[in-house]
Structure 1
Amino acid sequence: MARLVALVVVCIVLPFSRGIPVKPALEEKTQEYWNQKAKRDLDSALKMEPINHQAKNLILFLGDGMGVSTVTAMRILKGELLNTSGEAATLITDTFPYLALSKTYNVDRRIPDSAGTGTAYHCGVKANAKTVGVSGAAEPSKCSTTFGNEVTSVLHRAKEQGKSVGIVTTTRVQHASPAASYAHSVSRDWYSDADLSKDAIDGGCKDIALQLIENTDIDVILGGGRIYMTPQGTPDPEYPSSTSSKGLRKDNKNLISMWQEKHKSKVAKYVWNKMELDAVDLRTTDYLMGNTAYLRLLERLMNWG
C-alpha cells in the first residue's frame, strides 16, 4: 500500500429541517457585526497562498445527491440543532479554500441520475441516464451499443500509471456511483448476471459485479453488495436463514473466490464484518475487499460506532 492511493468515497445523506424558529442574536442586527464578519472572511482569503507541490494522494469524496438545495437544508439543520440561526451555520465544506459548482445533467435528460453523472465525474464524459462507463452513443439497455463506446475512468488511468486505487462506499459496490469507475454497462441495474436480459447475455454483455473482478485491478474495495457476488441460494454469512439475502448469481460463479484466486500470489484479505476489518494489517496487505453488507451499508452504520 506504499503507492499512491486514489479513493472514491460515496456517501448518501438524507437531511431534513425541523423548522424551529430561532431568535436572531442581538449583534446580528448591527452593521458592525456584518462588517467585521466580512473583514475576517476577506482577510482569510487574502492570506491564501497557492499550493505548488505535487499531491501524493487523491481522494474523490462524493456526496450522492448533494445539490445546492440539499446542502442548504443540511446547513439549516446543523444550525437548528445548535440552537442558532440555521442559515448562518457553517459546514466543513464551507471552509475549504477552493470551491466550485458544476452543471449536472445527462445527455438525454435534464434531471440526471447517478449513473450518467457518475460517468461524468469518473470519466470526464457526459452520458445517457442509466448507463455507466460509456459515452452518449451507448443507448440504455441496448447491449450491442456498449462495444466501442467504452470510456476510461480516472481510477483506471491512475492504475495504469502504477498507482494504488480503491473504492469505498456506503452503498453496494456495484451501485452506479462507484461502478462508473470500473465498469462499462448500458444498464446500471445489471448488478449480477441474474439481472441481464436474454439479449444482453446473447450479446456478450457482462454484469457489473463480474466487471468489478475482471476489469481494473482495484487494490481496495469496501462497501455492500455481497448478494451479487455468490451463486444463487448461497446463505449470507450475517443472515444465513434469510431468503432475501441469499446469493443471486445464476452462472454459479463465486466472485469472492475468483477475486481471492486472482490475487493468490499476493497478500489479499477478504472481510465481511467490522471485527475482520479491524484485524487487517494494512502495512502487509496488498489487496483488500470488504463486502460488509448483503446490499447497502447505510442501515449498518448506526450499529458500528
Structure 2
Amino acid sequence: MHALVLLTAVTALARMTVSDRYHPDEIRREPISRMAPPPERDPSYWINEAEAGIRERLRRRDNRNVARNIVMFLGDGMSVPTLAAARTLLGQRQGRRGEEAKLAFETFPTTGFSKTYCLNAQVADSACTATAYLCGVKANSGTVGVTGDVPRYDCDDSADPANHVDSIAVWALEDGRDAGVVTTTRVTHASPAGVYAHVANRHWESDEKVRDDRGDPRRCPDIAHQLVHRSPGNRLKVILGGGRKEFLPIDEYDEEGFPGARGDNRNLIKEWQANKQSEGVSHAYVWNKQQLMNFSSSPPKYLLGLFKNSHMHFHLEANQTTEPTLAEMTEIAIKSLSRNKQGFFLFVEGGRIDHAHHDNYVHLALDETIELSKAVEVAKKLLSEEDSLIVVTADHAHVMTFNGYMERGGDILGVSDDKDKDGIPYMTLSYSNGRGARRQLNGVRVNSETHGGDDVGVFARGPHHDMFSGVYEQSQLPHLMAYAGCIGPGLHACGNGCDKKRP
C-alpha cells in the first residue's frame, strides 16, 4: 500500500516536472539559431542598457522652464497592449525581432497612468474622456464640453452657459497664444470636439443630428456650426482632418462627389471663408494632399483642411497621393502655429486606432499607432525640449489581448506557438469580444468590439514632465499641462519654480 502511494506521488511529481499546464515549457526548447543574439545573452548588455537609462533620466530630470508650446497627442483607443504590440510590429518591419523596439514617445522621460471612467460609466467613451483630458472635469458619457449636470441628449441643459467648461485651447488663446486641431477622424468627432464644442450628444455633428434627437439647432447649435461660428472654434488657426459632409448641405456634393449631411442648406466651408475674408486675414481651405503641401513653407494665418467626406482612410488603405498622413498634417500645423512667439496649444489625434479595434482589424490598429508615433517624431524634431511640452496619451482602452507563449521574435500578427487543450492554435493578438471573437449566425458576424476600462498610459517630455508620473484621474491632464505652461485658471509654474494662482 505504502509502495503504491509512493509510486503515485513520484509519478505525479514527474508529470509536474515534465509539463506544467499553467506554464508549458515545450516552446522554450529552442535551437541555438532561434536564441537571442550573443550580445543579449551577456549580462553586461543589460547592465549597460540600464545604466544608459539612468544617465538619460538624470540628464532630463530638472527642466523647470515654462512650456511656451504644448502639444497633446491622443491615440484614440490606444491601450497598453496596443502599445506593446505596435512597438513589436514596428521592430519587425525594421527587420529585427521586434520586442526591443520603441515607439517615438516611449523614449520620453516620464510615464504615468490615467483613470478613464466617466461620471456615469465604468467604461468610457470618447466624448466624456475628451471633456476630461481637454477641459479638466469628468462628465457623463456621450457629452462634450459640459459639466456633469448635463445628461446626454438634454438640449436645454447643454445650452446653458453655466454648464459649459472651457478647454485648454481656450486657456492658451486667452494668454495670447494660438491653437489648432489635427485628426484622422472627422474634425467634428468626439475627441477634437472637446477642444471647442459644448453639446449634450457627441453625435450632434450637423443640424440634422440635433433634430433627430428632437433638439432645436437654433438653441443647441451642432458641432460643425460651433467650429465655424463660435469661439474658440472660429479662433483656431489650424483645423486639419476629415468630415466635409458635416459642413455641406444634403443636396450639395463635395470635391470627390459625396453628398453633404446638413438640412439647413448652409455651406459652412464657404461661411468659414467669408468670415476670414471679412476679418481681412490670410486664409485657405484645402481638400487634398497636394494643396496642403503647397503651404508647407508658408501657410496662411488660418488653414482649414478637410480631406475626406467622413473619416480619413486608414493609412494602409489611403490614397497616398491625395490624403496627407498624420505626420504631414502635424508638421504643417506646428510650422504654422510656431509663428506666434507667445506659443501655442495643438491637439493631434490618431483617431482611427479605435475604429480598427472596433472591427477587430488588429493590423490596422497597430499601423495607425505607428503612424501616431511618426507624428510624435516630427514634433520632437521641430520643437525644443527646453520650452515645448509634448504629452502623449489615450482616451480609453480596448479589449485586444496579447496572449500565449510565442517565441521571441515571432510574427506579432501571426499564430501563437501555443495551442489550446484541443490542440488548436490561436492568434497571439485576439479580442475578448467583437466580430472576430464571436460565433457567426447565418454567416453574419455579430456586434462590434468594445472599449475597455483599463487605465491608459501617459508619456511626457519637456518642461515639468515629471508632473505626469503616477496614477491619477484623467481630468488632471489639462491642469498639469496648464501648470507647465502658466495658462488657465489654476496653479502655475513660474520661471523660478514657484507656484502662482490667477484670480
Would the TM-score normalized by the shorter structure come out above 0.5? yes
**1:129 maps onto 2:141 in alignment:** yes
**1:62 maps onto 2:77 in alignment:** no
Match of 2:262 among 230, 245, 249: 249
Task: Answer yes or no: is the 8 Å Cα contact 1:269–1:280 preserved in 2.
Answer: no
CA 1:228/1:202 → structure 2, altered by over 3 Å: closer, same or farther?
A: closer
Work out the CA distance in 1 between the residues paired with 2:99 and 2:298: 44
Work out the CA distance in 1 between the residues paired with 2:106 and 2:183: 23
Match of 2:255 among 237, 248, 256: 237
**1:144 maps onto 2:156 in alignment:** yes
CA 1:203/1:225 → structure 2, altered by over 3 Å: closer, same or farther?
A: closer
Map 1:103-252 → 2, pairs under 5 A:
103-146=115-158, 147=160, 148-196=162-210, 197=212, 199-201=214-216, 204-215=219-230, 216=232, 217-238=235-256, 240=257, 245-252=258-265
Question: Structure 1 regions of 5+ residues with no counterpart?
Answer: 1-20
Residue 55 (structure 1) shift: 3.1
Residue 49 (structure 1) shift: 4.4
Q: How many residues align?
A: 280
SS of residue matched to 2:73 = strand
Q: Which has the higher contact order (CA 8 A, sep 6+)?
A: 2
Q: What one-letter code is carried by the residue in structure 1 that aligns with 2:164?
A: E
Residue 302 (structure 1) shift: 4.8
SS of residue matched to 1:289 = strand
CA 1:43/1:299 → structure 2, altered by over 3 Å: closer, same or farther?
A: closer
Residue 210 (structure 1) shift: 0.5
Greater Cα shift, 274-283 or 117-126: 274-283
Comparing both structures, which one devotes a greater share of its residues to helix? 2
Comparing both structures, which one devotes a greater share of its residues to strand? 2
Work out the CA distance in 2 between the residues paired with 1:36 and 1:161: 45
| Sequence identity (%) | 39
Work out the CA distance in 2 between the residues paired with 1:83 and 1:60: 31
Q: What one-letter code is carried by the residue in structure 2 that aligns with 1:143?
A: C
Q: What one-letter code is carried by the residue in structure 2 that aligns with 1:24?
A: A
Post-superposition CA distance 1:257-277 (Å, at most 9, x none):
111111112111111112222
Question: Structure 2 regions of 5+ residues with no counterpart?
Answer: 1-29, 325-503
**1:53 maps onto 2:65 in alignment:** yes
Task: Answer yes or no: is the 8 Å Cα contact 1:28–1:34 preserved in 2.
Answer: yes
Give the structure 2 partner of residue 80 of structure 1: 92
**TM-score normalised to structure 1 length:** 0.84
Q: Which has the larger radius of gyration?
A: 2
**1:287 maps onto 2:299 in alignment:** no
**TM-score normalised to structure 2 length:** 0.53
CA 1:56/1:282 → structure 2, altered by over 3 Å: closer, same or farther?
A: farther
SS of residue matched to 1:199 = coil
Task: Answer yes or no: is the 8 Å Cα contact 1:269–1:289 preserved in 2.
Answer: yes
Greater Cα shift, 66-75 or 177-186: 66-75
